[in-house]
Amino acid sequence: MLSEEFIEYKRREFCKDIKCPNQIELNGLKEKTVEYEKVRKSCMTDCLFTTWQFHHWLIEKGYLIVRSTKRKVK
């Protein structure tokens, strides 16, 4: 758990902030419909943006990437 002086990244915050066309489309669709799932799955496999862009967005927004020393990685 993070201390009170930190906030966690919210799901799709990057996508919403950069106004990703797929996110805009998702915003107009009802969750768990066939159309929504089709767009969502395309985001998981063929994102329009790179990890470099995401990583630098995180840095610009002041996010830190942290990992627990207590959590075991499989």
Residue 9 zone, left/alpha/beta (φ > 0; ψ -120 to 50; rest): beta
> Which letter does DSSP use for residue 8 in this model?
P
Half-sphere exposure of 25 (CA within 13 A, CB side): 13
Which pLDDT band, with edges at 50, 70 and 90, does 4 fall under? confident
Residue ranges covered by each domain of the chain: 13-60
pLDDT value at residue 66: 83
Q: What is the mean pLDDT of the segment spanning 62-74? A: 81
User: In this predicted model, what pLDDT tens digit does every residue of 25-41 receive, in sequence order?
Assistant: 999 999 999 999 999 99
